[in-house]
Amino acid sequence: MSEPLVQIRQLTKHYTRGKQKVEVLHGIDLDIGRGDFVALMGPSGSGKTTLLNLIGGLDTPTAGSVSVDGKRIDQFKAGELARWRAEHVGFVFQFYNLLPVLSAQKNVELPLLLRKMGGAERAKRAQVALSLVGLAERAGHKPSELSGGQEQRVAIARALVTDPTLLVCDEPTGDLDRKTADEILGLLQVLNREHGKTIIMVTHDPKAAEYAARTVHLDKGLLVDAAPAH
pLDDT digits over 136-169, tens only?
888 888 888 888 888 888 888 888 888 888 999 9
CATH level 3 topology of 6-226 = Rossmann fold (3.40.50)
pLDDT digits (tens, 9 = 90+) for 41-61: 988 888 888 899 899 988 888
Sheet containing strand 37-41, strands side by side = 89-92, 166-170, 198-202, 37-41, 214-219, 222-226
* pTM for the whole structure: 0.86
Average pLDDT over the chain reads 85
Residue 109: CB atoms within 10 Å: 23
Task: List residues bridging with 17 in a β-sheet.
Answer: 20
Q: At what angle do helices 178-193 and 148-160 cross, to 10 degrees?
A: 20
